[in-house]
Each structure stands twice: as C-alpha cells, then as structure tokens.
A and B are shown apart, each in its own frame.
Chain A
Amino acid sequence: MSQTKTKDHAALAGAFIKDEERVDWHDGALWYIREKRDIAAKQIPEWEQLREAASMIKSNVISNLHEYLLQFEANLKKNGVTVHWADSAEEHNEIVYSILKAKEINQMVKSKSMLTEECHLNEYLEERGIEVINSDLGEYIQQIDNEPPSHIVLPCIHKRKEEIGELFHEHLGTEKGLSDPTLLTRVARKHLRNIFLTRRGALTGVNFAVAETGEYVVCTNEGNADMGAHLSEVQIASMGLEKIIPQKKHLGIFLRLLARSATGQPITIYSSHYKKPRKGQEMHLILVDAGRTRQLGRKDFRDSLKCIKCGSCMNTCPVYRKSGGLSYHNTISGPIGAILAPNLDMKRHADLPFASTLCGSCSNVCPVKINIHEQLYKWRQVIVKEGYAANTKALGMKTMAWTLSSPGKFTKAGRAGRWFLQNVPFVVNNKFNPWYKQRDMPEGPKESFAEWFIKNENKKP
C-alpha cells in the first residue's frame, strides 16, 4: 500500500469536495468534536496553565533527550524489558519480524500505532508470511478496505456507516444493508475477540514513556491494547524517540490534556501503564528514529516533536475538515502532518505547508502549544529555497515583487488592472482565471484611492 503520489493536496481536496453533501457531513462531524474539546477545556480553569506547563515539559524533553533516553533504557532493562533501537522504518520492521520469528509466531494483533503505519509494518510482515490484524475498530475497518487511516485518532471518520456495513458484509458475512453502528460494533467485537484469544504476539504503540520509571502508557477507549497484550506471549511496543516524558507525575498533566483535546472526554477509558512482563511473557520495546533526529536538528521545526498525537489540530482546521485526511498523502495528516512531512520527504510533501490559510486555530488548540502556523510559514520559505516550488509560481512571484517595489510600476499596473476589469472584463473573467471559477471578480473602480487623494486631499493646507 505504499503510495506513489500522483496528485497533490489541491487535486485530492478538489476531488473530495465534489461531493458537497459528504464534505458538509465530514466537516460537521469534526467541528462537533472541536466543540466538545472547547466544553471540556472550559471546565478546567487552569487549562491554559496546563498547556503552558506541558509545552515547557516537552521543551525540556527535546533539549535533554540524550540523557532521558539513557535513563529510560536503563530502567526498561531493570524492569525486564528488552530494548531495541531502530534507525529507519526498515530496521524497525526487521526487528519486529525477528522477534516474532524467534518465537515462531506468524500471527500478530496490533493496537493503534501511527508509527507502525508510517513504517508500513503491516505490509512488511505480510510479505514475509506474518498476518497482522489491526484491533482498533476504526483501524480494522481501514485495514479491510485496504486504505490508510485518514485521522490519527478517528481512522475512518470519512466513511459513512453504509459503506462500513458494506465492508462488513463483504469481509465478515453480515447481512447486506446492515448499517446500525451498535450492531456492526457487536459483530466486530465477536470477531476480534477470537483474534485476541488466539494471537501469541501483540504490538502496541506508546502514548507516553516515563524516563524516571521505565514504564510506558497506552491510552485506548476500546480496551483492545490490553486484550492483545495480556493474552500474548510476546508483547512489543513501538515508540518514536520523542514520546519520552521526564517524570511519573508529569503524566497527571499530559493525561488531563490528551483526551480532552482529542475528543472532549476527561480521560480515555483505559490508560494502561506497562512496566514489567507477565510471568512467562516477553516484553520488547523498540525506540525508533526514522527522521526524528533530523527534525530535532532543525531549529525552526524541532518543536513539532512535542506533539502528543491528540488530533485536535485536525479537528479545528477548516482545510482539513473540508478536504479530508487522505488528501494529505502522509500517515500524519492535517496541520501537524504538514510540518512533520517535509522533513521526511521534502519533494513528495512540498505542497503540504501550502495547504493552509495560516489561520492559527491549530496552534491555539494544541495542548503543547506548538506554533504550527508559524512553522507552516517557515516551511514555505525552505521549500521555495530548496527549489520545490512550481516554476510558474516563482516567475509570478518575481513579477509581483518587481511591480510592488516600485511606486511608478505599481500605479501603472493598478490602473491597467482596473481598466481591464471595467472595459474588457472577459480578459480576466474566463476559465483560465482560477478565482473566477466560483467567484465574481471585484469591480474595478474608476479611480484608485491614491488618485482620488492626489486630486482632492493633497491640495489642502
């Protein structure tokens, strides 16, 4: 399923928007979640101080990451967890494979991990004869549809229940036309219960990794991480380097912020703290770089590593709500995706920082106060400098700069533009003008303000 990108965000968004009824529904669903976040945030008088504290803790983490990684590793080992390090996605996948192969396990159950999605772990294992089932309901649905998740918290938010019903009919033998969410969930519950009971290998992601104690926390609403882990012989946790938090008590701050920011809940139903293996069980943790140290070295963009993957930036972003997560052609989509992706592949993701109006809503819902909209602006400068902006755009910009830096040229151009609008509008109002597709052009007044001023006001004493 590794995509060869053929279309950029604008094209993919354009296709998504064609179905206006669906867009309105998708937009409404995500806005509703944004509103729930607002209600939850407003119930905590110290909300803004919590955000500030979380932001500073994460700044402390990324500026002391070397020390914390060593501390975390030492504590993991003390707890009986086997620690692995993976430089790349490929190396991470190899490690997972070798752990499973050593125990002759060829079926694994996986709970939500955006990192493994980024690494395309499922495909890697399937190619080598290991079956992987995503146990989170939303991710399961995306898996059987052979589509990546569109949102990091709500993987199939873009799908209607009828479409999900159709998938269940095809893959799980449910009755054709069945689309009731409760009934569909009950079918999935039964099917996945059997998976949990029979899989000897389980893999989870990591929400927070506590350096001080060597434990890690996994947050779910469904209980699927625990169902997989506590029945497994081998439990693997895949973790990005930046998931570290310094001290156990910091969990109080992050867990108060996470679910409220993500869905408006006070806490996820399950916040499981994994520390030592069960008797007779093996526990492994893989620390993954895959571009994170490179981002760490980027002065303007390293703060993107503070992200706790709540998805609130996606829920608030009007561009995301109206274009859908899949139009970002990257595992992590939306505003945070747009500042992480160019670091992974600048050429492929050069369009993402431009898929924004820089409205700033994202930065202000972010629980760790990442300056997302400022980083979007800064990425634009980098992308142009590195030569990834379209040639026609560069020429247009140079012309604009030439015109606007000279009063004489500016006045002539302005007068010409207004004259055309007044006298020969079709020169501008045609299908080659993208503005004109769905909007009228502004009218061209007879004289500019400057011309009026010079005529009338300049003479006054």
Chain B
Amino acid sequence: MNVGLFIPCYVNQFYPNAAKATLQLLQKSGVNVIYPVNQTCCGQPMANSGFEHLSKGCNDLFIENFSAFDYIVGPSASCILHIKDHLHSDKDEQQAAIIRTKVYELVEFLTDVIKIEKLDAFFPHKVGLHHSCHGLRGLYLSQMSELNAPPFSKPQYLLNMVKGLEQIKLDRLDECCGFGGTFCVAEEAVSVKMGKDRVTDHSKNGAEYITSSDLSCLMHLEGILHRNKSKVKVIHIAEILNAAT
C-alpha cells in the first residue's frame, strides 16, 4: 500500500512534531509512506473566505503531487474535508474526483483502512478530546450530539488503546472552538470568546492536555492558554498515539 503523506501548510511550518509523529505512526502500521516535498496547501484559507476561484493553483499542485498514491493521509480533519468536498480541476477533473475518494484523515485511516486494534503507546495524563467541527460533522469521526443516533467515536477508540491515559468528560461535548479560518481575525472578539469557553470547559473538568485531529483548533486554543498563563497544554492526537512507552 503506497500512502502519500499530506502535511498541511501551517503544520509543516509551525508544528513539525505532529507531522513527524504522523509519519512514524504510518510507518509503524506497515504502509509505504512517501512525502512529496513539493506540496504546499489544500487551498482552504482562500476558499472559505469566498475566494474559491483563487485556489485553482493549489488544487492543481495537489493533484500533481498526489495522483500516484493508493491513499493520501494527512493529520488535519479540516484540510482533508476540504479536499474531499472541494478539490476540482479544469485540467483534470477525473483525477480530482479519484483523489477525493482516496484522501483520509489520520484517525479514520488508522481505524477504517488499517483497522488498527492495538497501539504501543504510553501517555499517563488526563486528556480532553476536542472534536474539531470538520472532523466531527464533516468526516464523521464521531457521532455528533445534535443527532438522535447511536454514539461512536474513532479518536476515542484509539485513545482508549493508549496506556495510562485518562479521558475527561466535558460539559459541552462538541461545541466549536471558534477558529474558523479567517474568522479568527475577522471576528476576533467572538472567536476568542468561543476559544476561552472551550478552554474553561476542559480545564474545569481536569484536562492536562487538550488533543484533536485539527491543529488549527489547537493553535487557537493554545494561543489563549498561553496568554492566560494556563498549565494546560495542547497536543495533536498523532503525538499521543505515537508516545513512547
């Protein structure tokens, strides 16, 4: 199985450890992982701001880099969802359509394709799981609280395999953190208030770490935590699942 590793632009620049952990998890699972070094971005920042027509360059570059693989895996629910929903090409729409079926976020790749049953990981901490909206309502990584439907959670399933880890229970299971792309600066007051409220929910319920499939959410929450000199830390789920025993 050839897997193309897709590392989102800001993860590449600001959170290389999460990218490294993703690479290592995939390598451990036995697949042949390749990282195309000429990749940049999925185009979401422009598209979500109403400038979808400007993301064509990113789309074509993505198709060029990733057509050759059986699967494309990335540690970002929102970027993966964006590719799934919005990857189109004037040059090669057929290839774009194929890629849209092959692209996976890391957690769902591990549970649905690799069908992982155990992890050799140790993370003796209290952890709060933040369901990123794109991961939850877009990729169905877990059941959302709005629906009258049977509960399930792929990230929780994986976290349950990590030794020493205790998951805390939140007051509001899946409220949005307020990052929202350019929303985080265009509507700064609301964005920060939403982030503060999420952080409060985690910290009052005992979280030492907040984890998620989306570093955009975590970057936003971390910014608030640091500013308020909180002891609570953020960590991408790949780094927990890859945490050495």
Chain A residues with a Cβ under 8 A of chain B: 9-10, 13-14, 17, 20, 23, 27, 31, 38, 41-42, 44-45, 47-48, 316, 318-319, 322-323, 354-361, 363-365, 377, 380-385, 389, 393-394, 397-398, 400-402, 404-407, 410, 414, 417-418, 434-435, 437-445, 447-450, 452-454, 457-458
What is the number of contacts between chain A and chain B, taking CB atoms within 8 Å?
211
Q: Is B23 an interface residue (CB 8 A)?
A: yes
Complex CA gap A447/B13 in Å reads: 8
8 more A-B contacts (CB under 8 A) besides A10-B186, A398-B54?
Answer: A322-B194, A354-B183, A357-B191, A385-B53, A414-B13, A439-B223, A440-B226, A453-B35
Chain B nearest CB from A266 CB (Å) reads: 15
The answer to whether B9 and A414 have CB atoms under 8 Å apart is yes
Say which residue of A405, A449, A453 sits within 8 Å of B61 (CB atoms): A405
Which residue among B49, B58, B220 has the maximum number of chain A CB atoms within 10 Å of its CB?
B49
The answer to whether B187 and A319 have CB atoms under 8 Å apart is yes
The answer to whether A410 and B227 have CB atoms under 8 Å apart is no
The answer to whether B49 and A318 have CB atoms under 8 Å apart is no
Which residue among B19, B50, B186 has the maximum number of chain A CB atoms within 10 Å of its CB?
B50
Complex CA gap A447/B35 in Å reads: 16
Closest to B192 in A: A438
Q: Is B77 an interface residue (CB 8 A)?
A: no
The answer to whether A319 and B226 have CB atoms under 8 Å apart is no
Q: Looking at chain A's contact residues, is the secondary structure mostly helix, strand, loop, or mixed?
A: helix
- For chain B, residues 42 to 57, give those with C-beta under 8 angstroms from any C-beta of chain A: 43, 45-57
The answer to whether B146 and A364 have CB atoms under 8 Å apart is yes
The answer to whether A401 and B55 have CB atoms under 8 Å apart is yes
The answer to whether A322 and B193 have CB atoms under 8 Å apart is yes
- Which 6 pairs between the two chains have the least Cβ-Cβ distance? A405-B57, A357-B180, A439-B223, A380-B50, A384-B50, A360-B137
Say which residue of B11, B17, B178 sits within 8 Å of A357 (CB atoms): B178
- For chain B, residues 159 to 206, give those with C-beta under 8 angstroms from any C-beta of chain A: 172, 174-176, 178-195, 197
Chain A residues with CB under 8 Å of B72's CB are: none
Q: Is B222 an interface residue (CB 8 A)?
A: yes
Q: How many residues of B are in contact with the other chain, CB < 8 A? A: 74
18 A-B contact pairs sorted by A residue (CB < 8 Å): A13-B189, A13-B190, A47-B148, A318-B178, A322-B193, A322-B197, A355-B190, A361-B137, A364-B147, A383-B50, A405-B60, A435-B188, A438-B188, A440-B222, A440-B227, A444-B13, A449-B12, A452-B16
Complex CA gap A406/B149 in Å reads: 44
Chain A residues with CB under 8 Å of B189's CB are: 10, 13-14, 17
Chain B nearest CB from A274 CB (Å) reads: 33
Chain B residues with CB under 8 Å of A45's CB are: 148
The answer to whether A364 and B37 have CB atoms under 8 Å apart is no
Q: Is B67 an interface residue (CB 8 A)?
A: no
The answer to whether A357 and B133 have CB atoms under 8 Å apart is yes
Question: Known: A354-B186, A401-B55, A410-B41. Is A435-B9 also a contact (CB below 8 A)?
Answer: no
The answer to whether B188 and A410 have CB atoms under 8 Å apart is no
Which residue among A42, A48, A405 has the maximum number of chain B CB atoms within 10 Å of its CB?
A405
Chain A nearest CB from B76 CB (Å) reads: 12
Complex CA gap A359/B57 in Å reads: 26
Say which residue of A14, A361, A417, A442 sits within 8 Å of B146 (CB atoms): A361
The answer to whether A442 and B190 have CB atoms under 8 Å apart is no
Say which residue of A23, A357, A359, A450 sits within 8 Å of B12 (CB atoms): A450
Complex CA gap A452/B23 in Å reads: 12
Complex CA gap A80/B146 in Å reads: 43
Chain A residues with CB under 8 Å of B245's CB are: none
Q: Is B107 an interface residue (CB 8 A)?
A: no
The answer to whether A438 and B14 have CB atoms under 8 Å apart is no
The answer to whether A449 and B16 have CB atoms under 8 Å apart is yes
Chain B nearest CB from A281 CB (Å) reads: 43
Complex CA gap A213/B39 in Å reads: 62
Say which residue of A359, A400, A450 sits within 8 Å of B133 (CB atoms): A359
Closest to B51 in A: A397
Chain B residues with CB under 8 Å of A381's CB are: 50, 52-53
Per-residue A-contact encoding for B221-245, CB less than 8 Å = 1, 0 else: 0111011000000000000000000
Chain A nearest CB from B123 CB (Å) reads: 22
The answer to whether B55 and A437 have CB atoms under 8 Å apart is no
Chain A nearest CB from B243 CB (Å) reads: 18
Complex CA gap A417/B47 in Å reads: 22
Question: Known: A23-B193, A47-B148. Is A441-B61 also a contact (CB below 8 A)?
Answer: no
Closest to B42 in A: A404
Chain A nearest CB from B58 CB (Å) reads: 5
Chain B residues with CB under 8 Å of A364's CB are: 137, 144, 146-147
Chain A residues with CB under 8 Å of B187's CB are: 9-10, 13, 319, 354-355
Complex CA gap A38/B186 in Å reads: 31
Chain B nearest CB from A286 CB (Å) reads: 35
Complex CA gap A361/B131 in Å reads: 12
Complex CA gap A17/B195 in Å reads: 13
Question: Known: A360-B133, A439-B223. Is A31-B172 also a contact (CB below 8 A)?
Answer: yes
Complex CA gap A442/B219 in Å reads: 7
The answer to whether B184 and A435 have CB atoms under 8 Å apart is yes
The answer to whether B48 and A358 have CB atoms under 8 Å apart is yes
Chain A nearest CB from B54 CB (Å) reads: 4
The answer to whether A444 and B14 have CB atoms under 8 Å apart is yes
Complex CA gap A104/B54 in Å reads: 61
